[in-house]
Every structure is written in structure tokens, then in C-alpha cells.
Amino acid sequence: MAKKINPWDNGGEDTWSSGDNVLQGKIIDFTKITNLDNSRNNFGKYFKLAALIAVLLWLASGFYQVQPSEEALVLRFGKYVNTTDAGLHYHLPYPIEDIVKVNVTQERSINLGTAENSGYGRNSFTESHMLTGDENIVDINLTVVWKIKNAKDYVFNMRSPDDTVQVAAQSVLREIVGQSEMQPIITGNRGKVEDDTKEELQKVLDEFGSGIQIVRVKLQKADPPREVVDAFNEVQRAKADMERFKNEAEAYRNEVLPKAKGKAAQIIQDAEAYKAATVNKAKGESGRFASVYDAYKNGKTVTVKKMYIDTMENVLKNSNKVILGQGEKGNVLPILPLTNGAKE
């Protein structure tokens, strides 16, 4: 049977010394336990402090700044809540709420018919070559400048904005060109094509609910295809010559016609004046004859004598002879001719 060891037995050593060792060991163990409890209490304090700081930082992450050129969409668990403009704002921290910032003042652009946009070969021909209303082919390069007018519609209704604007612009431009003739598009009526394209494109994008505003549309190039450009230029030169000849003829007509009209008007006025003078003279003669006739009817003897005297006066007014009537010879006194070269 094993011998039971007395814990106070130190193998022959002094009992008090052994007791002191045991007591000292118990005191050391008690100190270790006390330090462990203090460590646990400090860890709890630090953990709570760290958690508090983390919560404060999480709450502070809800502050956000919106620039003057931006609009911010607030999403709550992915669902749209509202839109905020420029300034400092607050939203519930992620993942409860999140924001999407959109630049609404930046102007973006796309090009139709360019090499970098459509490539070469068949694709380039498909995009840049369009059929006009008079069944001609025109090579068109178009630039569309646009910006965002509604951030919500732009973010939630548009998946590929550039592709959407490009396809819509190409469709609208083909429709406008298909209703127009080639000559105005190439030679100078580009402004109408640009305005019509902008208006129709805006209508299409509004129907999509795209939230996009078309700023301007610019035709960079509108030429005939390279394969027929020489023939087209020849036709244009012929039309230019025709217009020049037509303008020269119009200028000659404008120069000659007024002169002819002026001369004709002068001849007509002269004829009218001659007509008026002749008619008035005839009326005067007839009136004088009528008055003489009336006087003749009232006093035939006096009228006849008056007419005779007037006629003889007109006949003999330039004569130097004096004719005396019968029965007046005895009373005639000789007249001394006083005029030089007087004749009987």
C-alpha cells in the first residue's frame, strides 16, 4: 500500500519552512488569477471603445458631397429614393443606402460614318452611305452632341447610352435623308437636315425615357461616294454653267426689258398727248363753227358781212396797197408814202 504523503511533510525539513513555501505558492497563484481578470476587463473596455468608434465611423460614412455639375441618386437597398443636387448631404450608411453620382453638365458626343466608329468595308458603307429621296447615294458623317437632363431616367432606363444614341441617330438620319433630295444636302441646305435630325432624334429618345438631351447635331461631311465623285462633279459643273447662263440671261433681260418698257410708255404717252391735242383742236374748231353758224342764223346779213371783212382782213393784212371802195374817190386825199421802198 502506497504511503500517503503528507502535504505538510517536507522530508525532514523544518515544518515552518515547508508551510511558508506552500503558502507562498498559493499567494502566487492568486495573483495570477487577479491579473487575468484585470486583462479580461481591459479587453472588454477596449472592445467596446473600438466598437463605438466603428459605429461612429459607419454613421459618418453617410455624409457625401455633390459637386455643382453633378446630381446624386439615393438608393435604399437598391431602390431609388430621391435625387439630390449640389451641396453636402447625408444618407443612411451602406449597405442600407447608397448613392450614384451623375455628371449632368458634361457634353458627350458620338460620330456616325467615321472610320473609328464604323470600321471599313461593308460596315462603313452601311453606316455612312445613305439613299436620298431622288434615289441617289450620299456619304454622310454626322456628329451628335448630347448631355444628361434627367439623371434618374438615364441611370435606370439606359443600359448603353452611347449605343442607344448612335442607333437612334442613324435611324433618324436615314429617314430625314430618305425624304430629301441629294442636291440640297450636298450644296447648302445642311442646316435644315441638322435641325430636322435634332428634333426627330430628341422625340425618339424622349419616347425611350432616356433622360438625354440633344445639344446639337452637325454634318461634318455630305459628299457623293468616291466611286462616282468625278461624274458627280461633272454634273455639278454643268449645272453651275447652266445657272451662270441663266443668270446672265436674267441680267440681260432685266437690263433690256425696262428700257423697252420705258420707250413703249413714252410712245404711248406721246400718242395720248397727240390724240388729246387733236381732239381738243377739232372740238374747238367745231365749237367755233357752231357758234358762227348760230350767229349766222340770228343775223345772216351782219354775219356774212363780218365774215367777208374778216376774210379780206386776213388776206390783205400784209399788203402795202390801199383799196378803196366805189363812191369814195372824191373824198380821197393823196397819201404821201412815208415808208422806205413803198410801192403803189
Q: Could you tell me the CATH superfamily of domain 108-224?
A: Band 7 domain (3.30.479.30)
Grouping H, G, I as helix, E, B as strand and the rest as coil, residue 251 is helix
Give dist(CA 338, CA 344) in Å, integer. Answer: 12
DSSP string, 165-215: HHHHHHHHHHHHHHTS-HHHHHHT-HHHHHHHHHHHHHHHHHHHT--EEEE
**How far is residue 258 CA from its own chain's centroid?**
41
pLDDT at 145 over 90: yes
Q: Locate 21 and state its grid cell.
A: 513555501
Q: Residue 125: is its pLDDT beyond 60?
A: no
Distance between CA atoms of residues 176 and 307, nearest Å: 95
Comparing 14-23, 90-99, 124-133, 283-292, the range with the smallest average pLDDT is: 14-23
Q: What is the pLDDT of residue 78?
A: 85
Start-to-end CA span in the chain (Å): 223
- Segments making up each domain of the chain, as ranges: 24-60, 63-103, 108-224, 228-308
Q: Report residue 204's pLDDT band, with 50, 70 and 90 as the boundaries.
A: very high
C-alpha cell at 321: 396797197
Measured between alpha carbons, how far is 195 from 176 in angstroms, rounded to an integer?
10
The Cβ-side half-sphere exposure at 249, using a 13 Å CA radius, reads 6
Residues 74-105: pLDDT tens digits? 998 888 888 888 888 888 888 888 888 889 88
Q: What are 1's three cell numbers?
A: 500500500
**Mean pLDDT value across the chain:** 77
What is the pLDDT at residue 40?
63
Which has more confidence, 285 or 144?
144
Mean pLDDT, residues 185-194 taken together: 80
Largest CA distance in the chain: 233
Q: Which long-range contacts (CB under 8 A, 24 or more apart) does 268-272 make?
A: none
pLDDT at 302 over 90: no
Q: Is 327 helix (H, G, I), strand (E, B) or coil?
A: coil
**Is residue 194 a contact partner of residue 222, using CB atoms and an 8 Å limit?**
no
